[in-house]
């Protein structure tokens, strides 16, 4: 299914064994959205691919042929629990719980992302991050801004000083005022281009979903590279699952960080 939506709507965004999420919130504890260093590199494991229904900007045409399976570098215990979720244009690919559902939303310039949600939940609809950031949904969401400079600076400025400086240089008023880390959100620098942002239960931060009963484990990426050697833009990726499934969150967050091309 594909639904056409104007690009103006788009301005924004493991390694242990664990069973998949069941109904009920469970308890949760904070965790950085990255595994510890020194983790052995896992062998390739083949997992199913699920194609998400997509709403896109105009003029996208027909996408490439999507394979039914894909080989990924995760431990066998994780591979048995996950699938690769992508869209019919293969813009993004995200690891999520096997058997879950998804939707994808993109503007003409590729801005947007994928939302993965439990079969027992209502679909968040297309462009779910435009509706509300306060949600009790379990799930995984990626919102990316690969090309709109003002958009990706606005996404990154609460977390990266160089993005903040450019926002203050180019914008005034509300745009600059939004460059703040939400209250109670926990931020940790992972690299020059990646930070971990964690919203505890019932704290509505920049993660989507957040404000529900689970820790929202997130990564925020930013790069303003002007060369062909690396991606430019920004993304926010969030995984909100019960504590027992945080290993799956780490796998998804880190796999996406390694494969995102902007």
User: Residue 255: CB partners within 8 Å, gap ≥ 6?
Assistant: 14, 72, 73, 74, 95
Q: Note every long-range contact of 159-165, with CB atoms under 8 Å and residues 24 or more positions apart, other chains counting.
A: 159/187, 159/195, 159/197, 159/220, 159/222, 160/195, 160/220, 160/222, 162/224, 163/222, 163/224, 163/234
DSSP tag of 136 = -
Residue 30 maps to a domain: no
Tokens 């992302």, located at residue: 113
Give 184-198 as a DSSP string: T-EEEE-SSSEEEEE
Residue 10 maps to a domain: no
**Greater pLDDT, 94 or 174:** 94
Would you tell me the crossing angle of helices 161-170 and 149-156 to the nearest 10 degrees?
130
What is the rounded radius of gyration, in angstroms, for the C-alpha atoms of the chain? 17
Which tens digit of pLDDT belongs to each residue from 26-76? 444 444 455 555 555 667 999 999 999 988 876 777 888 999 999 999 888
DSSP tag of 60 = -
Which range among 14-23, 101-110, 131-140, 191-200 has the greatest average pLDDT?
191-200
List residues bridging with 104 in a β-sheet: 54, 114
pTM over 0.85, yes/no: no
Torsion of CA 73, 85, 233, 238, to 10 degrees: -90
Residue 31 maps to a domain: no
For 254, phi then psi, to 5°, come to -75, -35
Residue 207 maps to a domain: yes
For 46, phi then psi, to 5°, come to -90, 130
> How sure is the predictor about 102, in pLDDT bands with cuts at 50, 70 and 90?
very high
Exposed / middle / buried, residue 119 (Cβ in 10 Å: 0-12, 13-18, 19+): exposed
The DSSP H or E segment spanning 129 is none
> Is 4's pLDDT higher than 90?
no
The total number of structural domains in the chain stands at 1
Residue 55 maps to a domain: yes
> How sure is the predictor about 177, in pLDDT bands with cuts at 50, 70 and 90?
low
Structure tokens at 69: 């399976």
Torsion of CA 255, 257, 260, 262, to 10 degrees: 170
> How sure is the predictor about 15, in pLDDT bands with cuts at 50, 70 and 90?
very low
Residue 96 maps to a domain: yes
> How sure is the predictor about 24, in pLDDT bands with cuts at 50, 70 and 90?
very low
How far is Cα 96 from Cα 181, in angstroms, rounded to an integer? 27
How far is Cα 223 from Cα 163, in angstroms, rounded to an integer? 9
Structure tokens at 25: 């919130």
Residue 32 maps to a domain: no
What is the per-residue pLDDT for 162?
Answer: 92
Identify the domain containing residue 161 by its residue range. 40-259
The answer to whether the beta carbons of residues 121 and 137 sit under 8 Å apart is: yes
Residue 75 maps to a domain: yes
Alpha-carbon distance values, 129 to 20, 187, 259 (Å): 24, 21, 22
How far is Cα 74 from Cα 249, in angstroms, rounded to an integer? 12
């Amino acid at each position: 299914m594909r639904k056409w939506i104007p690009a103006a709507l788009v301005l924004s965004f493991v390694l242990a064994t664990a069973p998949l999420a069941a109904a009920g919130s469970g308890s949760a504890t904070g965790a950085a959205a990255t595994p510890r260093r020194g983790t052995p590199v896992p062998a390739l494991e083949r997992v199913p691919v699920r194609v998400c229904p997509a709403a896109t900007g105009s003029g996208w045409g027909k996408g490439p042929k999507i394979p039914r399976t894909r080989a990924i570098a995760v431990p066998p215990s994780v591979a048995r629990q996950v699938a690769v979720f992508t869209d019919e244009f293969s813009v993004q690919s995200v690891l999520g719980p096997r058997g879950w559902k998804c939707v994808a939303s993109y503007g003409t310039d590729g801005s947007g992302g994928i939302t993965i949600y439990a079969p027992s939940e209502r679909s968040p609809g297309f462009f779910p991050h435009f509706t509300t950031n306060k949600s009790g949904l379990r799930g995984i969401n990626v919102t990316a801004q690969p090309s709109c400079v003002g958009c990706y600076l606005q996404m990154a400025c609460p977390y990266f000083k160089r993005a903040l400086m450019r926002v203050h240089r180019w914008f005034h008023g509300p745009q600059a005022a939004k460059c703040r880390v939400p209250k109670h959100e926990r931020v940790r620098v992972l690299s020059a281009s990646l930070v971990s942002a964690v919203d505890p239960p019932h704290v509505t931060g920049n993660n989507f979903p957040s404000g529900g009963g689970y820790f929202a484990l997130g990564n925020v990426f930013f790069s303003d590279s002007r060369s062909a050697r690396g991606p430019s833009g920004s993304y926010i990726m969030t995984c909100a699952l019960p504590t027992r499934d945080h290993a799956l969150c780490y796998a998804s967050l880190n796999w996406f960080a390694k494969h995102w091309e902007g």
